[in-house]
Structure 1
Amino acid sequence: MSQSFIHAKPLQALKLGAVLGILGFGIAGVVGLLPDGGLNSLLLVAFFPMVLALVIGAETLFAGYRLLRADDPRSRLRNQPFYTAIRAFEVVATIGAPGTFYVLIVEVGSEVAGPGAIGVLFYGVGLGLLAFGAVVLRTAVEYYDHRQNRSTSGHVRGGNDITR
């Protein structure tokens, strides 16, 4: 990842770094490199999307506020339909995954014990991986867009095209 992308999109880079770190920790736990048998790493993979949901929820509220204050919000959404769809998928996946996991814990978690609770944890891990995939997908789209804009103009300062 280029240094200019990190400077232009620090939140995207931070989200990607956090997701890759959590996934690395999760893989290390499952493989057996950690002494706890992988349980703590699975719990982290299952519950970290709640933090992502807070960050992406705040980011979405801020983006929505900026969109409402724009001159023509509908045209801004129609100009980049693919990006709008990716961003909507990220919001739905990262807010829906921990929400679904919470409902699953409340509805089913009190009725199962022992091995059944581990099964609920595996659902949480799967939902967490869905949220992580959505963040990685959006970051990849943002990085691709950054590389395209940087290579077409050649005049980038702080992530903003100074030729506009």
Structure 2
Amino acid sequence: MTTNHTHHELNPEPAPRVEWAKHAPEVYKAMVRLDAAARKGVDPVLLELVKIRASQLNHCAFCLDMHSKDALAAGESLERIIQLSAWEESQHFYSPKEIAAIELTEAITVLTDGFVPDEVYEKAAKHFDEAELAQLIAAITVINAWNRFGVTTRAVPGHYTPGQFAH
């Protein structure tokens, strides 16, 4: 059976709790600068994979919408984006370097599982030089901060267009 319902017909769109960027503009501007600094030297495709995976783990619908659209616009395949939530069973879609970055993303994002394991860090260190690794850690940390703003304020997904917030 096929349905022709749009997502707007199923449930009313929720409203965000607060427009945090409007009410804390200096914090928002600082986050934008931090994001720009963290992404320097990080491969753009890898960066989107990391942002999508962290956003999946943090259940940030707004960031999932944004980074999936940005990844698609940058030429990433739909298949790799879909498989990212099950990357451990779908490793053949990703390079060893991407897998190391995804593992590091999970370890940094889910700190309730303990510290970042040595084996995860060492695996990433084999694929990234120290400067790249520092930038990757910064990028992972920044997307986690964005996720926390998005989830806490209930930022509404679905309206983002690729490149909308390009700096």
Category of TM-score, reference length = shorter chain: under 0.3
Q: Compute the TM-score of the two structures, normalised by the length of structure 2.
A: 0.26
Task: Indicate the structure whose relative CO is greater, using CA pairs within 8 Å and at least 6 residues apart.
Answer: 2
Q: Compute the TM-score of the two structures, normalised by the length of structure 1.
A: 0.26
Decide which structure has the larger Cα Rg and report it: 1
